[in-house]
Structure 1
Amino acid sequence: MKSYLKIALFFFILYFPISSQAQKINQEQLISDIKYLSSDELEGRKPMSEGHLKAQAFIKERFEKLGLSSQYDDFTQNFSFTNRREGKTYERAANIVGFIPGSESDKIIVVMGHYDHIGRNGDDIFNGADDNASGTVAMMALAEYFSKNRPKHSMMFVALDAEEMGMQGARALVADFPFPIDQVKLNINMDMVSRNDQNELYAVGTHHYPFLKPSLERASVGSSPKLMFGHDVPGSGRDDWTNASDHAQFHQKKVPFIYFGVEDHDDYHTPRDTFDNIQPEFFKGAVELILDCLITLDTDLLN
């Protein structure tokens, strides 16, 4: 009997640390956060709108509560840009940046999602629940986990501004990065991770950086949603997401990236992209899967 118990204990210790990560995401907080960030109160989070400023304050308050540090005063990297389509200059756009120093490496994993959306059109509010309150909330959930479980690499957590106006926040972050850019070991971008009828989440980027794929495959065994690869083959037109979101700015600097996201749905960039249309179980599973991938990559990239 004792030998059977020892064997059972061995396999419990071997497999429990990975499988238990799902329990370390605060699922109630996850749903509460996306409900707030995609509420009518935030008016679609168009840069410099009242709702957009409320989103900034919400994210900064969370970073402060988690005890994150930052290379920027009040967690805020301000920048300006001109939106040629509107003929308007945005003087105080803002990336919200938190930081956790690594326990074994000063190389950095940048974890990010954009928090802006496209605002409103008359009486219609474009709430942007999936695009991209979901990625912002996922980023905050990962920051919470690593604030309690110190990562091996240093990790920078960023809520990026003005992605919908040409990835302006990512451009500003890369252009004025507070460390040498070659200190960044990996970029993780999350953009639209809260719904998919096929129960599939894509990890884009392994065509360009194939050394990342074995870690992702190992971390995602038996996952729900299922982790898919692709959407990153040059020459495949709109099916190639290499330059589809903020990770493109890091890729252009030869920083390896993984972009987690879903394929477009009918509510994309419409007033129907609301909290009521996310899939809570998919969203929770997606964030748990991304966490497992990030934990695995954090260890594997030390070697």
Structure 2
Amino acid sequence: MLKKLIIGALLALPLTGLAQQTMLESGQLLKDVRVLAADSMAGRRVGTEGSQMAQHYIIGRFQQIGLKTYGNTYKHPFTFKGRSSNEQQQGVNLLGYIPGKSDKVIVITAHYDHEGIRRGEILNGADDNASGVGALLAIATYFKQNPPKHTLLFLAPDAEEQGLQGANAFLNNPPIPLDKIILNVNMDMLGVNDKGELYASGIYHNPQLKTLADQVKPRPNARLLLGHDKPQEGPNDWTRQSDHYQFHKRGIPFLYFGVEDHPHYHKPTDDFERINQQFYPDAAALVLDFILLADKHAGKLPSRASKK
């Protein structure tokens, strides 16, 4: 009887670590990627029916998680000029938030658009970037159940593949003052890596973040490496390669999480079946570990003033 009471008490304790939470959510995590990368969404290209289907699914998950809205809607439309022409196109950013005790905000991003159909073949973008969106939803679920100190804004930008347009639109017309944003955590491609390596890029530009990133301990199937952020690295410098660059241009500290390019990048073979189902949940947990540290130790984050 005493043994049962002890076990019951332990099960009732709040989750202070992330391993239990990640294990509980891994099924939903993988389901979210599978749904978003299905052929029926036709590659989620901005402005298409497939994009609208992805929006509907993500909004449903935001509602299920219980994220709050800005302006009574998760949808924030914007217009932009396309890369191949000067014609105006319309995208739709999706965002919700979890309020914290502080009005300072950590913005967590993962774009949901992809390349659509090319030469008759669907580019499903399972890794790029259904994997980032799946992680964003899992992290939102965790913090809804374990309230953060700082307000966490969860942003799924559109039109990243068209030149980081959604992130740019968000920052040009933010629902909160820009000076309240203390950090951007961006996720773009977390699911395909056979070496168990997830990179955190941005320490070169924000060296104060190294203290926090160094505290992220390896998971059984994934470990965090730092790099891909130095100008001398040329194409291997990821500073400009995803939505975090729009934050960086405005002097907002960032850390970008992603895997190195693989043979399925921007190819019709970037399907759900390619997602490494052991690595990916642990990679998402590494990002969650970092956000927990950033939320707890915000005083160690770089200030915007130091970057101007």
Normalized against structure 1, the TM-score is what?
Answer: 0.90
Does 1:75 find its partner at 2:74?
Answer: yes
Match of 1:194 in 2: 191
Match of 2:35 in 1: 36
Query: Within 2, Cα distance between the matches of 1:29 and 1:84?
Result: 35
Query: Within 2, Cα distance between the matches of 1:24 and 1:198?
Result: 21
Give CA-to-partner distance per residue, 1:226-267, whole Å, 9 cap, x none: 100010112321111111100000011111100000000011
Q: Conserved in 2, the CA contact under 8 Å of 1:128 and 1:269?
A: yes
Counterpart AA for 1:164: E
Query: Within 2, Cα distance between the matches of 1:237 and 1:23?
Result: 35
Kindly report which structure 2 residues correspond to 1:234-253, keeping only aligned pairs within 5 A, or say none: 234-253=231-250
Does 1:169 find its partner at 2:191?
Answer: no
Match of 1:85 in 2: 84
- Once the two structures are aligned, what percentage of the paired residues are identical? 42
Query: Within 2, Cα distance between the matches of 1:137 and 1:88?
Result: 32
Counterpart AA for 1:217: D
Query: Within 2, Cα distance between the matches of 1:211 and 1:153?
Result: 19
Q: Conserved in 2, the CA contact under 8 Å of 1:24 and 1:145?
A: no
Match of 1:3 in 2: none
Give CA-to-partner distance per residue, 1:26-61, whole Å, 9 cap, x none: 111011110010000000000121111000011111
SS at match of 1:44: coil
Match of 1:5 in 2: none
Q: What's the CA shift for 1:216?
A: 1.5
Counterpart AA for 2:221: S
Match of 2:12 in 1: none
Q: What's the CA shift for 1:202?
A: 0.3
Match of 1:64 in 2: 63
Query: Within 1, Cα distance between the matches of 2:122 and 2:53?
Result: 16
Q: Conserved in 1, the CA contact under 8 Å of 2:219 and 2:282?
A: no
Q: Conserved in 1, the CA contact under 8 Å of 2:124 and 2:270?
A: yes
Query: Within 1, Cα distance between the matches of 2:268 and 2:156?
Result: 22
Query: Within 1, Cα distance between the matches of 2:165 and 2:157?
Result: 8
Counterpart AA for 1:242: T
Distance 1:207 1:84, change over 3 A: closer
Unaligned residue ranges in structure 2 (runs of 5+):
1-14, 301-308
SS at match of 2:265: coil
Does 1:131 find its partner at 2:128?
Answer: yes
Q: What's the CA shift for 1:24?
A: 6.1
Q: What's the CA shift for 1:133?
A: 0.5
Query: Within 2, Cα distance between the matches of 1:109 and 1:19?
Result: 19
Counterpart AA for 1:155: L
Q: What's the CA shift for 1:210?
A: 1.2
Match of 2:44 in 1: 45
Residues matched between the structures, number: 286
Distance 1:58 1:241, change over 3 A: same
Kindly report which structure 2 residues correspond to 1:178-257, keeping only aligned pairs within 5 A, or say none: 178-221=175-218, 224-257=221-254
Query: Within 2, Cα distance between the matches of 1:229 and 1:87?
Result: 38
Q: What's the CA shift for 1:135?
A: 0.5
Q: Conserved in 1, the CA contact under 8 Å of 2:216 and 2:224?
A: no
Range with greater deviation from structure 2 (153-162 or 116-125): 116-125
Counterpart AA for 1:134: S
Q: Conserved in 1, the CA contact under 8 Å of 2:19 and 2:285?
A: no
Distance 1:223 1:106, change over 3 A: farther
Query: Within 1, Cα distance between the matches of 2:234 and 2:44?
Result: 29
Q: What's the CA shift for 1:22?
A: 4.7
Match of 2:153 in 1: 156
Match of 1:95 in 2: 93
Query: Within 1, Cα distance between the matches of 2:142 and 2:223?
Result: 22
Does 1:277 find its partner at 2:274?
Answer: yes
Task: Quote the RMSD (CA, aligned, Å).
Answer: 1.6
Q: What's the CA shift for 1:121?
A: 2.0
Q: Conserved in 1, the CA contact under 8 Å of 2:22 and 2:281?
A: no
Q: Conserved in 1, the CA contact under 8 Å of 2:69 and 2:96?
A: yes
Q: Conserved in 2, the CA contact under 8 Å of 1:21 and 1:292?
A: no
SS at match of 1:18: coil
Q: Conserved in 2, the CA contact under 8 Å of 1:152 and 1:298?
A: yes
Counterpart AA for 2:278: E
Counterpart AA for 1:159: A
Q: What's the CA shift for 1:19?
A: 5.4
Q: What's the CA shift for 1:198?
A: 1.5
Q: Conserved in 2, the CA contact under 8 Å of 1:223 and 1:289?
A: no
Q: Conserved in 1, the CA contact under 8 Å of 2:21 and 2:142?
A: no
